[in-house]
Amino acid sequence: MSKNRFANHTIFELQEANHSPIFGYEDSPILTLEEAVEKLIPLVPGVLAYVMTALRAEDRHALIPWFAYLKLFMTALNKLLPIKAVVWRGVYGDVSSVFANNNIEVWWSVNSTSSDLEIVQPFLGEHGTLFTIEAKCGKDISQFAANPDEKEVILMPGTCVRAKTEVLNFNDRLFVVHLDEITPQRLIYLKR
């Protein structure tokens, strides 16, 4: 898992983070936080890191024990009004080719972004891809965050994005991909 929630090290890491559907959590009952993590007590010291690892795993069965926690987390996020905002996220290296030809990418994990470019820029390093995302259903959690100055906006699991323009290439070091959050026509969920 990335040590930085605003940038991934590789496109593979970003794609892996966004390939594991969490469908099924909706059927879990709403529990208290204590009840939601009761089965996870051996993992509690790093509970958020473990949840993100489970979300990004290809093994859907590994995710099922987290459904009660996800239900609580997603229910809380869904109480926040969706916002339309331009937000930023980064990935180390040039991953712009993934977003060619109007490909639709489905980001299945929780994705942290910032509405402030200056927060994300330092995490890109010498060579990276910067996503500018026109979010339509972001969840502004800045007033609840430990660092409200980071102006964090969460993109929910299942967010669909598509490249809006050609990739901007600055000296083969910085690549800017302008993404538009879209509402998918239809998502088909397959049981594994």
57 alpha-carbon distance from chain centroid: 14
Q: Residue 99 gets which letter from DSSP?
A: G
Q: Which of 109, 80, 78 is nearest to 8 (CA)?
A: 109
Query: Domain range for residue 149?
Result: 82-182
Is the Cβ–Cβ distance between 107 and 17 less than 8 Å?
Answer: yes
133 part of a folded domain = yes
Q: How many domains does the chain have?
A: 1
HSE of 122 in the Cβ direction (CA atoms, 13 Å)? 5
CATH of the domain at 123: 3.90.176.10
What Rg value do the Cα atoms of the chain yield, rounded?
A: 17
pLDDT of residue 16: 63
Q: Which residues pair with 90 in a beta bridge?
A: 7, 130
3-class secondary-structure state, position 155:
strand
Tokens for 190, please give them: 């397959």
- Residues recorded for the chain: 192
56 part of a folded domain = no
d(CA 131, CA 81): 23
58 part of a folded domain = no
Place of tokens 């509402």: 183
pLDDT of residue 122: 86
Flag residues of the chain having pLDDT under 50.
1, 20, 188, 190-192
40 part of a folded domain = no
pLDDT of residue 191: 45
pLDDT of residue 165: 85
Helix (H) or strand (E) holding 137: strand 128-140
CB atoms within 10 A of CB 13: 17
Tokens for 35, please give them: 């009840």
d(CA 139, CA 127): 29
pLDDT of residue 74: 85
